[in-house]
Structure 1
């Protein structure tokens, strides 16, 4: 077990050398930046750019997980798809999130640590980052006597879901909550909706660590549709709130490695570039062909789909090209992210393009 801080030298060099540079590719380059047409392996599945070495995390063990020390008594566990964090105390273990893909390996990882450090291995507290099943869907494997802490909105959403794998919290809060257990401290805070209506910030001040799920993706572009977030303006704002916290290690809830402050800066630049490119594409893509063809057919939805898809394609291409080899999966999800940002710009910001106030 060890703390593996991600190297940020290459990303810092990238930030310094490419600030403000966002070249618009040729038509051929636009297509190539978004999809790889080769199916050379015979599977019939598309090929994508290789994952940069700096984006990869430690290899899981034979049981399918990796557990490492962040600092002191604070640890993290990953299966390369999801992450949880836990704090060993003199009274037991405080676990933050219980992703079902890690499942019972959570307790195995905890046992690895507590057998080595001599602290109790029983999970006494589980903190829910938010209500989504992919992050807390294994919470039910821990005992009924476990204290479960969440935002008040998480409690409401879980009551509606009625999922036995996500037991209702026993302690809730609305703004801030300081959890002190066995000589250790976690500060929980709610700064408004972002990825979900209830997503919270989990800060371990003694260990300079922040956990915030589905907002920053160290080494990778955000998941499809800007992390399938329910409030895009506040999801973007949450990235900046995260950077206002004092931390040096970041736990993002997804993928295989921890984050650094350079990772946060890089994602904010990616989003700034995507915003600039999307705003430009709204005005540069000619809507006339889409209105002419599909308007004559009376197919309003076809007009919207084809025009918005064309804007997303145009917006995504230079961004995907710029971040290829820098952020993993830039070619996988940048178009989807551009489409979602475009919709937010239209309905949240009022940048309506050809669907604005009729003259």
Structure 2
């Protein structure tokens, strides 16, 4: 028996009401963030032309290509599960010959074991294989073919260009480009219609996360698949998120600069203003002082950023605070914007 995400969330909701849990109400989701609905089985197949198909379950996305002889699958999200096979059968009864891993995270390839039958070749970047060997998981079989930089997968009449530009979201995460259909798939970077998932989508390298928007725009694509939420993206979505991330970047830097300025009535972010009450309440507690400092800068960044983006990108009031916290810390330790903790002239 299949259990849908909707039924799980409904059960959780009922449990929450039963225990009188406090529920936060966020701003409504803009219509521009909402994609087509899934079917009664919990998935949606959308033809992108040239034998390419988006597979979405309302929360996660994957992609498959049909050749005259077989199917090439890209990712296998566990939320879609056995519906992956049902979705493919709704288009063709040809067997799956190849499975491409976008990266190693279980939420995107945790159903790979359902597809990894005899004769299916799994392809991934060598760093994806490395990560999978560190934390072995039978649900994510090791790849059969790995590569270091780029790899061209040409199967019958379908071509996929697999490019690695660095650890943007995770080591080994790939830019997956189908030139014939002008499709670009890059997981956990751009979230069409939405702000990114928490902490800049759990970016392992903030500088690369920011730069990746430029790298995306170097590709000639019509469709962008980000792996999450429920609609396709395009170049406009990439440009919109690039602007949002730039605002987070700028507002985090502004907060740090203000913290290094003398205290006055118009500058509540001066480090002297921030630390005085905290140190009085927590003498000799360095961590209490520092978290109070970072939290104050983070709140400033989040308030300014959210004020601009609320209603334009979904969940701006949900995750902007986490993005600002990540950006404040990255500005300090990655970029060297140390403010009052740097060498004072």
Instruction: Settle same-fold status: TM greater than 0.5.
Output: yes
Q: Pick one of 88, 91, 99 that aligns with 1:113.
A: 91
What CA deviation, in whole Å up to 9, does each residue of 1:39-75 have, x standing for no partner?
Answer: 9xx7620100111111011111111111111122000
1:104 aligns with 2:82: yes
- Residue 326 of structure 2 aligns to a residue whose secondary structure is helix
> How far did 1:210 drift?
0.2
Q: Pick one of 284, 298, 306 that aligns with 1:312.
A: 298
CA contact 1:87–1:95 (8 Å) conserved in 2? yes
- Residue 126 of structure 1 aligns to a residue whose secondary structure is strand
Correspondence for 1:134: 107
Correspondence for 2:338: 352
**What is the rounded CA distance, in whole Å, between the counterparts of 1:189 and 1:209 in structure 2?**
13
1:45 aligns with 2:29: no
The 5 A counterparts of 1:1-359 are 44-114=22-92, 120-142=93-115, 143-284=117-258, 285-296=269-280, 297-357=283-343
- Residue 179 of structure 1 aligns to a residue whose secondary structure is strand
CA contact 2:125–2:172 (8 Å) conserved in 1? yes
Per the normalisation by structure 2, the TM-score is: 0.88
- Residue 38 of structure 2 aligns to a residue whose secondary structure is coil
**What is the rounded CA distance, in whole Å, between the counterparts of 2:91 and 2:312 in structure 1?**
33
What CA deviation, in whole Å up to 9, does each residue of 1:314-343 have, x standing for no partner?
Answer: 011121111111100011001110110111
CA contact 1:212–1:253 (8 Å) conserved in 2? yes
CA contact 1:67–1:76 (8 Å) conserved in 2? yes
- Residue 206 of structure 1 aligns to a residue whose secondary structure is coil
**What is the rounded CA distance, in whole Å, between the counterparts of 2:38 and 2:94 in structure 1?**
21
- Residue 196 of structure 1 aligns to a residue whose secondary structure is coil
**What is the rounded CA distance, in whole Å, between the counterparts of 2:42 and 2:286 in structure 1?**
49
CA contact 2:274–2:296 (8 Å) conserved in 1? no
RMSD: 1.4
- Residue 225 of structure 1 aligns to a residue whose secondary structure is helix
CA contact 1:294–1:300 (8 Å) conserved in 2? no
- Residue 91 of structure 2 aligns to a residue whose secondary structure is helix
Q: Structure 1: where are the runs of 5+ without partners?
A: 1-38, 115-119
Aligned residue-pair number: 314
Bigger RCO (CA 8 Å, 6+ sep): 1
Q: Structure 2: where are the runs of 5+ without partners?
A: 1-16, 259-268
CA contact 2:185–2:224 (8 Å) conserved in 1? yes
- Residue 340 of structure 2 aligns to a residue whose secondary structure is helix
CA contact 1:91–1:181 (8 Å) conserved in 2? no
**What is the rounded CA distance, in whole Å, between the counterparts of 2:294 and 2:48 in structure 1?**
43
